[in-house]
Amino acid sequence: MQSFLGLTGYFGRFVPGYSKIAKPLSDMLRNGVDFEFGSMQRQAFDRLKELLCESPVLHIFQQGKALELHMDASSHGFGAVLLQSSDDGQLHPIHYISKKTLSQQEKLSCYELEVLAIVEA
Q: Are residues 71 and 36 in the same domain?
A: no
pLDDT in tens, the chain (121 residues): 888 888 788 777 778 889 999 999 999 988 888 888 999 999 999 999 998 877 556 788 999 999 999 888 888 888 888 999 988 888 888 888 888 888 899 899 988 998 988 888 8
Q: Which of 80, 90, 79, 12 is nearest to 51 (CA)?
A: 12
pLDDT for position 43: 97
Q: Are residues 48 and 71 in the same domain?
A: no
Q: Which of 74, 75, 117, 66 is nearest to 96 (CA)?
A: 117
Q: Are residues 87 and 44 in the same domain?
A: no
pLDDT for position 77: 86
Q: Which of 105, 91, 78 is nearest to 18 (CA)?
A: 78
CATH number at residue 102: 3.10.20.370
Give the domain extent around 75: 67-120
pLDDT for position 56: 58
Tell me whether residue 77 is in a domain.
yes
CA separation for the pair 104, 77 (Å, rounded): 12
Q: Are residues 2 and 44 in the same domain?
A: yes
Q: Are residues 19 and 48 in the same domain?
A: yes
pTM over 0.75: no
